[in-house]
Amino acid sequence: MNIITIARQFGSGGRSIGRELSQRLGIPCYDKEFVKKVALETGFDEKFIEDRGEHVQVGAWFGSGLGAHSMAGSQSIEDFLWSVQSKIILDLAEKGPCIIIGRCASYLLRNRSDVISAFIHAPVEDRAKRIVKLYGESDVKPEKRLEEKDKKRKLYWLHYTGLEWGASENYDICLNSSKLGIEGCVNILERLGKGES
């Protein structure tokens, strides 16, 4: 397989898995780098892209251009970002082997035979410990942070694909990073990436 897409629950370690896999396979991983590409293409701030790149406003459900989050030409900012991100993902896939984190890449590349899509998940308690360790404490309880972030990803996925985020039938493989560990997930995806059984 030339391209690996990684969708993930917040705090499950999907980003870490992608980075380690990138080093082992010697192919680029697009996550933060992807944000930079979108920022260059759109002129938006990187922080804005990071916050809104996998997020859809409630107003978007009622038609483009409604509410405060619209642009000239009646296109919502979310739809504009979706179109730019989609184009970049399709372009990256054409350029060669890579790993793409999030942003419905598995859906956008679903018709390619050289793609393997993975969904990384883990129990809430393990993910809560992980985000506190990585990002520190905040005023919001870690479980609430997980719930809010995953809800945004779920709505984004449903809005742009019409499919259920995290449902196993929408991915080639689903991995529990708590049971397998980060390295275990990387080992499995590395073998698949090399075409090994």
Q: What distance, in Å, lies between the first and last C-alpha atoms of the chain?
A: 12
29: alpha, beta or left? (left if phi > 0; alpha if psi -120 to 50) = beta
Can you give the pLDDT at residue 62?
40
Q: What is the CATH classification number for the domain harbouring 125?
A: 3.40.50.300
| Confidence (pLDDT) at 140 | 85
Query: Residue 29: what pLDDT?
Result: 96
Q: What is the pLDDT of residues 3-41, one digit of tens each?
A: 999 999 999 999 999 999 999 999 999 988 888 999 999
**Planar angle of CA 12, 16, 22, nearest 5 degrees:** 135
Any bridge partners for residue 98, and if so which? Answer: 3
The DSSP-derived string for 6-66 is EEE-TTSSHHHHHHHHHHHHT--EESHHHHHHHHHHH---HHHHHHHTT---GGGGG-TT-
Q: Tell whether the model's pLDDT for residue 59 goes beyond 60.
A: no
Quick: pLDDT tens for 89-102.
999 999 999 999 99
Task: In whole angstroms, give the CA distance from residue 10 to residue 29.
Answer: 18
14/149 Cα distance (integer angstroms)? 14
Residue 99's DSSP bridge partners are 4, 29
Mean predicted confidence (pLDDT) in 84-88: 94
Spatial distance between the Cα atoms of 167 and 154, rounded to a whole number of angstroms? 10
User: Is the per-residue pLDDT at 67 higher than 70?
Assistant: no
Residue-range definition of the domain harbouring residue 109:
3-193
Q: SS3 for 140? A: coil
* Number of structural domains in the chain: 1
